Structure 1
Amino acid sequence: MTDVVDLFDIQYLWNLLAVLWFLLCWVGYTRYASWKARDTACLASVLHLYREDWMRRLLLRDNRVADASVIGNLERNASFFASSTLIILAGILTLLGSADRTVSILADLPFVMQPSRGLSELKLISLAVVFVYAFFTFSWCMRQYNFAAVLVGSAPMIGERHVGELERKAFAERAARVVSMAAHQFNQGLRSYYFGLAMLAWFINPWLFMLVTSGVVVVLYQREFHSDVLKVMVFTSTPQTEAPKDEGLGNP
């Protein structure tokens, strides 16, 4: 009996440690990324600059059909993920109704730490919580893109002489900020998917769960702060230097 209790305590501690590490990685990386983005070029900060340019150029043309179409496409992306999240939640609830079969299937896999029914249900509930958060995040993203569409519709026209330059500049900054806020929510929802996929490793082994969670953080950091697409989009100033005197195809 003592051996059983000790085994239960060890499994409990391992799973508790894995969950704490999961939360630390998710919350910690989210806060770290927001803090680092204040003074470091990343996808979020660079794209915000592009959105400001977008809104300033929007004010220079009367035909805003293309701009409304872009916002509509962005909203549909969030709608797709919100719908997919509901399907995933339905699948998780189905697995909760057949927890015994889930335990028996997992027991046949290699390197799987034998879970109890209660622990398996707890893992499924935790996974459901992650995707519930993802659904609310994507749905709020959709609403913010709706707000951005309203702002585009209310943008002052070129011929409106009573609208000053300062007011146009303030509108461009405000509209770009709303679009960036919607994109931030979309990014949070995508992170939920990344960490939700990492949680699948928990059903095999808590140590594998912690390892995969750490790998997700590395992937997110690499993509947001050191990706090739960031290097292409980042604003770089080209110094005006004297042209080389030698002939050839060198850069001016």
Structure 2
Amino acid sequence: MGDFSLLDLAAVAVFLTAWIGYSVAVERLSGSGGSLNRMMNRYRHAWAEQLELRENRVVDTTINASLQNGTAFFASTSLIALGSVLTLTRSADDVLTLFGTLPFGTQTTRTTWEFKVAGLALLFVYAFFKFAWAYRLFNYGAILIGAVPPRGSDEETIRRAARRAARMNVVAGAHFNRGQRAWFFALAYLGWFVSPYVLFVTTLAVVYVMWQRQFASEACRALQEPDDD
């Protein structure tokens, strides 16, 4: 770690703290009940309640398939991004010269550059595993939807099966959200290639954008109970 300055280490510490702190705030704290993710989870359970009432559940399997397809897209894109990141190691000298000429750029050694590239690659590996697991869970969710007994069966059995499918969908959605979060923080991480100062700024900018989308966006307001209109 001798090639890294204290400012580099501080920037990385802020980056990791922001990622972990934001994740805990959105997923774990009770005060995050008004977040977009939490509200959508409630609608996942509402979907399950409608599932109990439907005789023909083709629409439910179609919705689940659309969720799977979106997850598969991000999983494959993560692999493409990972391959692109790994190619950066082959043109290190040219890229180092380019970044050194940027207004806020700093001189970087080849070892430092390769370490930064490895960190970016790990972000996309993490994202791929999250998306791949979410895809598998949505697949399990499709099976659970198919396992919901038809109308006319015991109501309690139908209710339990539908709620089980909803819980699986919630878990799958959580892993999908973590994969997307890794993508957003990968964008922030790119600032470190320029300088640690830029990493500070990009990290704060990404956290602000994600927080705004979770708690103060038009999408969030659209799910809230309307006031007197």
For normalisation by structure 2, the TM-score amounts to: 0.93
Moved more, 186-195 or 172-181: 172-181
Contact between 1:141 and 1:183, CA under 8 Å: does it hold in 2? yes
Q: What is the Cα deviation at residue 32 of structure 1? A: 1.4
Map of 1:138 onto structure 2: 131
Q: Which amino acid aligns with 1:213?
A: T
Distance (whole Å) between structure 2 residues aligned to residue 146 and residue 227 of structure 1: 30
Map of 1:4 onto structure 2: none
Distance (whole Å) between structure 1 residues aligned to residue 167 and residue 192 of structure 2: 38
1:63 is aligned to 2:53: no
Match of 1:212 among 199, 202, 212: 202
Query: Relative to total residues, which structure has the larger helix share, 1 or 2?
Result: 2
1:46 is aligned to 2:71: no
Could you give the per-residue CA deviations for residues 129-174 of structure 1, whole angstroms, max 9, x where no partner exists?
11110000000000010010001111110132xx2x2222222222
Q: For residues 219-230 of structure 1, what are the structure 2 equivalents within 5 Å?
A: 219-230=209-220
Moved more, 69-78 or 46-55: 46-55
Between Structure 1 and Structure 2, how many residues are aligned? 228
Match of 2:190 among 181, 200, 215: 200
Could you give the per-residue CA deviations for residues 15-58 of structure 1, whole angstroms, max 9, x where no partner exists?
11111111000011111112335663221221122111211111
Q: Percent identity?
A: 37
Moved more, 31-40 or 55-64: 31-40
Distance (whole Å) between structure 1 residues aligned to residue 117 and residue 92 of structure 2: 9
Could you give the per-residue CA deviations for residues 54-98 of structure 1, whole angstroms, max 9, x where no partner exists?
111112122111111111111111110111111111111111122
For normalisation by structure 1, the TM-score amounts to: 0.85
User: Radius of gyration: which is bigger?
Assistant: 1
Q: For residues 23-34 of structure 1, what are the structure 2 equivalents within 5 Å?
A: 23-34=16-27
Q: Which amino acid aligns with 1:80?
A: F
Match of 1:98 among 63, 86, 91: 91
Map of 2:15 onto structure 1: 22
1:166 is aligned to 2:156: yes
Contact between 2:104 and 2:198, CA under 8 Å: does it hold in 1? no
Match of 1:125 among 113, 118, 140: 118
Task: Give the secondary-structure state (helix, strand or coil) at the position aligned to 2:107.
Answer: coil
Map of 2:166 onto structure 1: 176
Distance (whole Å) between structure 2 residues aligned to residue 121 and residue 39 of structure 1: 38
Distance (whole Å) between structure 2 residues aligned to residue 183 and residue 22 of structure 1: 24
Q: What is the Cα deviation at residue 236 of structure 1? A: 6.1
Q: Specify every segment of 5 or more residues in structure 2 that has no aligned partner in the other structure, as ranges.
A: none
Task: Give the secondary-structure state (helix, strand or coil) at the position aligned to 1:155.
Answer: coil
